[in-house]
């Protein structure tokens, strides 16, 4: 056998020739263009996330979430309203092409396409540029999403009757009501129950009458001449019936 013949050297790419410590690469040749993911970039992300988290926690401590009365599934007049971050979807479901028989389009199809497009944005625009002007696809999709969300949220806030919403969800005191009394029967007969509720708790068209603090004469005057959103002439009946009804409403107090 001649020297060097019949001998082969086999290398394994999985075993580096020179073992290096876990040190990030030197990017000094590309200043301002790139940096090591660990720990430089990731540390910045953590710091920004911590600032937002602390700010959010301070906000939740300073402003307690508003509470409404206990949910009543029998109250068909109640108008539900989502939290502010879902108002744009709530507004979307008001349009004719996204409601009624097309609810599936407004609830699933349109939001699915929108969020799916945002998720695909990094894959649709894979250029190395970092300036927004050099990435028209990703920038355009993001601006369109932000603009649509802002517009729909603004429209929902503008079209919502916040006074009525606050009144609907207000926690009202419960009252002991004798539903067999003549005053309550008149309350039902004259149609007061449709606006002010079965237990005088109020509703979309009328305020709560529990602990109203009104005198009998004041209630009689409001029943005849109206007040605020209540038009005049709502009561139709005799003076005796009006007296009994006013006495009943004036005497309704909480437990």
Using a pLDDT cut of 90, give the percent of the chain over it: 10
CATH class, 81-160 region: mainly alpha
**Which of the residue ranges 37-46, 70-79, 158-167, 183-192 would you say has the lowest mean pLDDT?**
70-79
d(CA 102, CA 99): 5
Which residues in the chain are classed under CATH 1.10.287.980? 81-160
d(CA 164, CA 210): 17
Kindly state the average pLDDT of the residues 14-34.
Answer: 60
Which residues in the chain are classed under CATH 1.10.760.10? 182-250
Sign of CA dihedral 37, 42, 45, 47: negative
Strands annotated E in 57-180 = none
Residue 128 has pLDDT above 60, yes or no: yes
Superfamily of segment(s) 182-250: Cytochrome c-like domain (1.10.760.10)
Q: What is the pTM of this model?
A: 0.51
Task: Tell me phi and psi for residue 227, to 5 degrees.
Answer: -165, 135
* Mean pLDDT estimate for the chain: 78
Q: Are 171 and 246 in contact (CB under 8 A)?
A: no
């Amino acid at each position: 056998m001649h020297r060097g013949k019949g001998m082969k050297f086999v290398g394994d790419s999985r075993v580096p020739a020179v073992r290096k410590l876990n040190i990030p690469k030197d990017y000094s040749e590309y200043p301002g263009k790139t940096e090591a993911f660990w720990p430089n970039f990731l540390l910045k992300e953590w710091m920004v996330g911590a600032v937002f988290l602390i700010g959010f926690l301070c906000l939740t401590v300073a402003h307690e979430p508003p509470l409404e009365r206990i949910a009543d599934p029998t109250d068909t007049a109640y108008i539900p309203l989502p939290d502010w971050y879902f108002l744009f979807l709530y507004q979307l479901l008001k349009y004719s092409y996204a409601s009624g028989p097309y609810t599936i389009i407004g609830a699933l199809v349109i939001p699915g396409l929108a969020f799916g497009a945002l998720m695909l944005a990094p894959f649709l625009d894979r250029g190395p540029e970092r300036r927004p002007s050099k990435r028209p696809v990703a920038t355009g999709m993001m601006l369109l999403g932000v603009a649509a969300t802002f517009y729909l949220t603004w429209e929902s806030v503008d079209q919502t009757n916040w006074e009525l919403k606050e009144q609907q969800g207000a926690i009202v005191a419960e009252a002991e009501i004798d539903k067999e009394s003549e005053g309550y029967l008149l309350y039902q007969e004259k149609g007061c129950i449709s606006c002010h509720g079965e237990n005088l708790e109020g509703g979309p068209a009328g305020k709560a009458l529990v602990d109203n603090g009104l005198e009998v004469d004041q209630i009689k005057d409001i029943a005849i001449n109206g007040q605020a959103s209540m038009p005049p002439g709502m009561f139709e009946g005799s003076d005796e019936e009006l007296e009994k009804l006013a006495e009943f409403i004036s005497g309704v107090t909480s437990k």
